[in-house]
Amino acid sequence: MTASLEAMRHSCAHVMAASIQELWPGSKFGVGPTIGNGFYYDVLFPEHIGVEDLGNIERLMRKKKRQQLPIERIVLPVEKAIEIMEGAGQDFKVELLELLRDKGSTAVVDATGDRNISDADSGGETEVSFYKVGDFLDLCRGPHVARSSDIGHFRLTTVAGAYWRGDEKRPQLQRIYGLCYPTVEELEAEVERLEEVKRRDHRRLGRELDIFHLSPEVGAGLPLWLPNGTVLRDELEFLAKEHERRASYQRVSTPHITNEQLYFQSGHLPYYKEDMYSPISIGDANYYLKPMNCPHHHHIYLSRPRSYRELPLRLAEYGQVYRYEDSGALSGIIRTRGFMQNDAHIYCRLDQAKVEFTNVMRMHADYYRIFGIEDFYMRLALPDLDKLEKYVDEPEKWMAALDVIQESMDDSGLPYQEAKGDAAFYGPKIDFIIKSAIGTEYAISTNQLDFLATERFGLTYRGEDAKDYPVYVIHRAPLGSHERFIAFLLEHYKGAFPVWLAPVQVVVIPVSEKFTSYAAQVYDRLMSSPVRNGSLGFRVELDATSDRMQKKVRNALVRKIPLVLVVGGAEEAAESVALRTRSGADLGQVGLSEFIDVLRAAVEQRDDTPFQQHFGGE
Ligand SMILES: [Zn+2]
Ligand SMILES: [Zn+2]
């Protein structure tokens, strides 16, 4: 943000506060910083306010803008400032001033996200600055624009709850958010973007399209998958199984609870304990819900001696795991307490690791092509390489693993960034970041090259020379978890899934009751047409309700069902269907057999383009 934009937005926040004070005398003000598209201010109102009050505040702000009030800077001794704020009943400001006086540090204050306070670095403050707009005086570091007429174009958007200083034991204030831009065009563009963000919100689409349900009775962060959402999960698993089978993975299954001994061996206890739930005692042992599938797969590796001929050994599982998340961190199905991971572990020799790792990256790229995800990159987490020996026990092994990863990133030809810090002690890791249509970044999968598991678990293989050698482990989960990936897909497709993924692919609608029996024949043909190696038929519905035909079509469009087949006398006579797409396009009459063949191609190729090329529409 440029300094002038910052000053404009911050002044806008002051003008809002001045208006609030006029409308609700006795309001107590917390902090009011600028943010990426405007500003907010935390206020304790004498009464609870709602979004319906924002218009009144805006009106008064516009009046103050027209009045061209000067914004004046006033410097006061800190004791005098405290006296004035006490007199005005501004308890929160008094608290901030006392902090400034006693600690002189903004560090304490900045932890609350406040940026209104002057930037002293040490010792107590003796003087503080205030800014005055009309009658309203506010503690502030500044800078500000010269007059209230320079606050740009603004709109107040939402009211939310916010605890004073982020502490739930302190009073709850109301946070008012505002947008602020130099031009009306920029403001309108941001308003439109925020509308689109709302329309694509995975929680809203998840509810509207019956994908998942979060129920307080079941528990926070524990989603229930509805029939439509379960279709999405099944299709994703089917996709992964196909790709993994072609890449010579073998599938395994492991239990949800596990004896604590395993987690002592893996090091999860005690190092990962705060991410795990309290144990369940069974007999005289403690059992934990599994937070990761790795130790289980390692024990599958250990179930018998392994020869060099078996490597690389690739064990795959869609594995359910449970990790502790603070209730405040839970967000729809992006962050949950239980989730299903597209997991696998590849056991190999060091000299095989590069090819294996490159293939994992290519598998990511294959999936992204299928989903039309074009905006993505890999992020390699690096420690401070000069101080590596302080950070890990075996710096040589760490560097060897890093070489493998960097070479395979280059070989993959995919875009990547290197980021200092955040590296894992057991080896270098790569996160895949994908961006949704509205610019949200999802860290969707993590890949690691692990050289410590071999020691912790005694993972070795018998070489040609009959000696035992250590094994390297690649951890990978290209599709991440069902929960996060489906949240992404909802946002990415705005709920309009391609045909292969759509929970309901086709709905058949008779033009009138007279043609219900032909509609039922069409339905049966679709239900019983083999798709993809003879698996179940298409996902089709017959709408035989008493609603009028137009209403049925509208219902199908609202549910974002990709294909609507309307049938009447002409269609029955020609053994055809009248085809409409969810975009509303009417593509006219097509033969039923032809329709089925082209639909099958689109589903099997996981790509709608053959369908669009043949019939048109989108
Ligand atoms: Zn200010
Ligand atoms: Zn793992």
User: Does 510 lie in the same domain as 482?
Assistant: no
491: left (phi over 0), alpha (psi -120 to 50) or beta: alpha
Which residues span the domain enclosing 128? 3-196
111-146 confidence digits (pLDDT tens): 344 444 444 444 577 889 999 998 899 988 888 999
Q: Band the pLDDT of 109: cuts 50, 70, 90.
A: very low
CA distance 380 to 465: 36
Catalytic residue among 9, 144, 233, 345: 345
User: Does 525 lie in the same domain as 584?
Assistant: yes
Q: Which ligand is nearest to the CA of 294?
A: 2
User: Does 594 lie in the same domain as 470?
Assistant: no
For residues 285-302, average pLDDT = 96
Q: What is the tally of structural domains in the chain?
A: 3
Q: Look up 102 and say whether it is catalytic.
A: no
Dihedral over alpha carbons 565, 568, 573, 579 (to 10 degrees): -20
User: Does 522 lie in the same domain as 375?
Assistant: no
**Residue 278 is assigned to a structural domain of this protein:** no
Q: Band the pLDDT of 107: cuts 50, 70, 90.
A: very low
Catalytic residue among 90, 320, 341, 448: 341
Q: Which ligand is nearest to the CA of 132?
A: 1
Q: Look up 12 and say whether it is catalytic.
A: no
Find how far residue 530's CA is from the centre of its chain: 36
Q: Band the pLDDT of 168: cuts 50, 70, 90.
A: confident
How far does the centroid of ligand 1 lie from the alpha carbon of residue 168, in Å?
25
Q: Look up 345 and say whether it is catalytic.
A: yes
CA distance 524 to 517: 10
The dihedral built from the CA positions of residue 111, 117, 119 and 123, taken in this order, carries a sign that is negative
What are the residues whose beta carbon lies below 5 Å from ligand 1 (ion)? Answer: 116, 140
Half-sphere exposure of 428 (CA within 13 A, CB side): 30
CA distance 303 to 311: 15
The whole-chain average pLDDT of the chain stands at 92
How far does the centroid of ligand 1 lie from the alpha carbon of residue 139, in Å?
7
The kind and range of the H/E element at 85 are helix 78-87
Q: Residue 17 pLDDT > 70, yes or no? A: yes
Q: Residue 405 pLDDT > 50, yes or no? A: yes
30-75 confidence digits (pLDDT tens): 999 999 999 999 999 999 999 999 999 999 999 999 999 999 999 9
Q: Look up 475 and say whether it is catalytic.
A: yes
Q: Look up 375 and say whether it is catalytic.
A: no
Residues 240, 233 contacting (CB under 8 angstroms): no
User: Does 216 lie in the same domain as 181?
Assistant: no
160 or 107: which carries more pLDDT confidence?
160
| 438, 469, 493 - which closes a domain | 493
Residues 537, 482 contacting (CB under 8 angstroms): no
3-class secondary structure, 379? strand
323-379 confidence digits (pLDDT tens): 999 888 888 999 999 999 999 999 999 999 999 999 999 999 999 999 999 999 999
The proportion of the chain whose per-residue pLDDT surpasses 70, expressed as a percent, equals 95
pLDDT of residue 533: 61
User: Does 337 lie in the same domain as 430?
Assistant: yes
197-227 confidence digits (pLDDT tens): 999 999 999 999 999 999 999 999 999 999 9
pLDDT of residue 509: 98
pLDDT of residue 106: 45
**Residue 523 is assigned to a structural domain of this protein:** yes
pLDDT of residue 295: 96
Q: At 25, which CATH number? A: 3.30.980.10
Q: Look up 341 and say whether it is catalytic.
A: yes
Q: Residue 110 pLDDT > 70, yes or no? A: no
How far does the centroid of ligand 2 lie from the alpha carbon of residue 293, in Å?
6
DSSP state of 568: -
Q: Which ligand is nearest to the CA of 41?
A: 1
Q: Look up 155 and say whether it is catalytic.
A: no
Q: At 385, which CATH number? A: 3.30.930.10
**Residue 443 is assigned to a structural domain of this protein:** yes
